Structure 1
Amino acid sequence: MRFLPFTLFLFSSYSLVKAGTLNKGDSCNIGDNRLQAGTYQFWSECNSQTYCGSSGKCETRGCRKDDFPFGYAPDDKLPEKCPKGQFCPDEEDQCQQIQPVGSDCQLNRDDQCEGPPNFKELADTSGRGLNVNGSVCLNSKCMWANATLGVACIVENTPYTAYGVDGEFIDIVSRGNCQLGLYCDAAQKVCMAEKLFGEACTADKECSSWNCLGSGVCGVSESIPHHFAIWVYIVVGLGIFGGMFGTLFGLYWTHRKQRDEEREKRMQYWREQNAFHQNLLAMRETARASILSLPGNGNSSARSTLYSRDGAFSDDVSAPILPNAAPKVSGLRHYLADDGSSEFDDGLMMQSGKKVDGRF
């Protein structure tokens, strides 16, 4: 059994319980107002913006106790908060004057009680919710948290329903009227000094750190920031650097592999194109050789009777021109001359526009 401050369970009160459904002007029963079991959140038949009045009708709330009350839209007009010296009850009907010691108060509403004259010395400023301005509401009665060491004290144990990984379980919040630095022992009902780090404990309230470990000893406060050794920062830094370097190296290796694959594809394409080009050259040489081997394309051709070796026009003009003789320049010879290659035979074509003995 553990004794935890009430503030740890506020989350369950807002998430597990919903307000009523009646709207303003609807009939309601004030006798149905209650604190829900397990969460102890105030509930009535009226919705979150109204309360059940003494007339039996839902009426608009006249005050609020929270800065951001539940059930209001962002553009809704919120009720006013109560000024200093007053409080807004759970019903949130209207502001009321704070109550003196011994007056009735609502559960965990320490703010409804009037503080002692030395409230500055008794007030809890740690945020643990031990009291409000040195006053505390225990067992529905207002009192001051001024009980000293070894003096009889009053304790209030309230079981709350909590939810964890293993499901639902009960946590008990134990509160007393002892001064700061003391706690009210539930068995002996006397104020005892809070225990230091490493001492045996049974509840968080017994430890000055308010952290009783599962091993049964007081641990360090959970609000204290954790400090790590230098080597931890070094290891984390090396891990971050290693991760960045590994990522960059992996990207470089991947892109390099892709570039090698693309380069190999281009080389394969170039080799294929080069082989194709060589085949075309071989075919052209074969065709050229075949043309030269045809009858009439030797030295006894008509060209050799008309031109001398030095390009001059031959005096032998008596050679007859046979009807079936090949033309001086064939279409194939024009094709070979027009391909821009220097590998053709100059003896197979006539150069157009060249003077021969003053004639074209």
Structure 2
Amino acid sequence: MLNLAIIFTLVAVYTTSSLRTEAGTINIGGPCSITRNHLDPNTHKLISDCSDLTYCSGENGTCLARTCRRDEFPFGYSATDVLPPLCPLGSFCPDEGDGCRVQVSAGGECQMNRDEQCARAVNWQDFSSTENFYGSICLHSICMYANATLGSPCVIDNTTYTDIGLNGHMLPTVVVRDNCRSPQYYCVQNTMLCEQSKTLGSPCQLDQECEQRNCVTGFCVEPPETPLRVAPWQYVITAMCIIGAMIATCLMLTLIHKRHRLKRYRELRAYYMEQLR
């Protein structure tokens, strides 16, 4: 029994230390190793020995304060902390946060799903959309332009993110990205060619197939965040109803007022007639 208790204790200590290493709790000046840098299998976030405020230096094997940030409000910093600067135009801050770097040209390497690490094309205005960074996109950690047109060969990058659902079970979410011009086209996985995106009401299997990028119960529908579109005839009917209601109210008040005046007139006439008798 004693040996079993010791084994459980060692397992618990090992598990705790592993979780601490995964979480990255080492602060500035602490020892680290870049060989343990990896992507979290569920969130695909870069994990190192260092905390969220530091990065692991490959030169001296210690955790150093981050010298740049990619987000306006980076994770892990408090209201009193001094935030590292954002990178200027034409550069980017890597996942490590160890300093700004020049954007990568098409064909160069980029970190996973970091489209902003790729440089813009000369004519990026022609195919820029909300699904890329000024026309550039990072697929399979390679920078490319999202400018493939109808019938052109394309590249697909499937990424699975896993989170804990309401029932406590792991809930996977698959994000499909490609280099076709969006939202006009999408990349078909069977042929690896760009095809015309499907309109609202068309049958679909993936969100990527629809122009609105939202496939629900096998049909393309508008996404939940779509603003309500009011047709011109609805404005006309609404205005007519409001005007009609105002006119009806005015007429009703006028009739009620006249009835009150008539009733009062009859009462006064009856009173004076009674006095004359």
- Superposition TM-score, scaled by structure 1 size: 0.56
Please give the per-residue CA displacement for 1:297-354, whole angstroms capped at 9, x wherever unaligned. xxxxxxxxxxxxxxxxxxxxxxxxxxxxxxxxxxxxxxxxxxxxxxxxxxxxxxxxxx
| Alignment of 1:67 onto 2:72 | yes
Per the alignment, residue 197 of structure 2 pairs with 194
Per the alignment, residue 244 of structure 1 pairs with none
CA distance in 2, matches of 1:110, 1:182: 19
CA distance in 2, matches of 1:179, 1:32: 37
Per the alignment, residue 213 of structure 1 pairs with 216
Equivalent residues in 2 for 1:41-56, closer than 5 Å: 41-54=45-58, 55-56=60-61
CA distance in 2, matches of 1:62, 1:174: 32
Please give the per-residue CA displacement for 1:141-197, whole angstroms capped at 9, x wherever unaligned. 111111010111011111111343343222211110001211111121110111011
Aligned-residue Cα RMSD (Å) equals: 2.0
Instruction: State percent identity of aligned pairs.
Output: 41
Equivalent residues in 2 for 1:5-84, closer than 5 Å: 19-54=23-58, 55-84=60-89
CA distance in 1, matches of 2:202, 2:94: 40
Decide which structure has greater strand share: 2
Unaligned runs of at least 5 residues, structure 2:
1-20, 239-277
Please give the per-residue CA displacement for 1:219-260, whole angstroms capped at 9, x wherever unaligned. 1232223479999xxxxxxxxxxxxxxxxxxxxxxxxxxxxx
Equivalent residues, number: 210
Per the alignment, residue 204 of structure 1 pairs with 207
Please give the per-residue CA displacement for 1:256-310, whole angstroms capped at 9, x wherever unaligned. xxxxxxxxxxxxxxxxxxxxxxxxxxxxxxxxxxxxxxxxxxxxxxxxxxxxxxx
CA distance in 1, matches of 2:46, 2:139: 17
The AA in structure 1 aligned to 2:214 is N
- Superposition TM-score, scaled by structure 2 size: 0.72
CA distance in 1, matches of 2:224, 2:192: 27
Write out the 4+ residue segments of structure 1 that deviate beyond 6 Å after TM superposition: 227-231
The AA in structure 1 aligned to 2:188 is D
Equivalent residues in 2 for 1:175-190, closer than 5 Å: 175-180=177-182, 181-190=184-193
The AA in structure 2 aligned to 1:220 is E
Q: What secondary structure sits across from 1:205 in the alignment?
A: helix
CA distance in 1, matches of 2:229, 2:166: 28
Per the alignment, residue 136 of structure 1 pairs with 137
CA distance in 1, matches of 2:127, 2:228: 29
Q: Is the 8 A contact 2:22 2:48 kept in 1?
A: no
Distance 1:82 1:19, change over 3 A: farther
Per the alignment, residue 171 of structure 2 pairs with 169
User: Which protein has the larger Cα radius of gyration, Structure 1 or Structure 2?
Assistant: 1
